[in-house]
Structure 1
Amino acid sequence: MRRRGLLAAGALLAAPALAPARAQEGFPNRPIRLVIPFTPAGTTDLTGRLGAEQLGRRLGQPVIVENRAGAGGNVGAEFVARSEPDGYTLLLTTIGTGAINFAVYGDRMPYRPQDLAAVGLFMRVPNVLMVPPEVAVRDVAGLVALAKSRAGGLNYGTAGIGSSPHVCMELFGLMTGAAMTHVPYRGSAPMLTELMAGRVDVGMDNIPSSLPFIKDGKLRALATTGAARSAVLPEVPTLAEAGLAGFEATAWFGVLAPAGTPPAIVARLGAAVDATARDADFRARMGVLGGELPALTADGGSAPAAFEAFLAAERAKWLDVARRSGARVE
Structure 2
Amino acid sequence: MSKFQALLVSEDSPGHFRPEVVARDIAELPAGEVLIRVRYSSLNYKDALSASGNRGVTRQYPHTPGIDAAGVVEQSTVSEFAPGDEVIVTGYDLGMNTAGGFGQYIRVPSAWLLKRPKGLALREAMMLGTAGLTAALCVAKLEQAGLTPEAGTVLVTGATGGVGSIAVALLASLGYRVAAATGKAGQEEFLRGLGASQVVSREELQAGTAKPMLKEHWAAAVDTVGGDILFNVVKSLQYGGSVACCGLTAGVNFQASVLPFILRGVNLLGVDSVELPLVVKASMWDKLSLQWKIANLAALTHEVNLSELPAAIEQILAGKLVGRVLVNLG
| Structure with bigger RCO (C-alpha 8 Å, 6+ apart) | 1
Larger Rg: 1
Which bin holds the TM-score, normalised by the shorter protein? Answer: 0.3 to 0.5
Decide which structure has greater helix share.
1
Please give the TM-score of this superposition, normalised by the length of structure 1. Answer: 0.32
Please give the TM-score of this superposition, normalised by the length of structure 2. Answer: 0.32
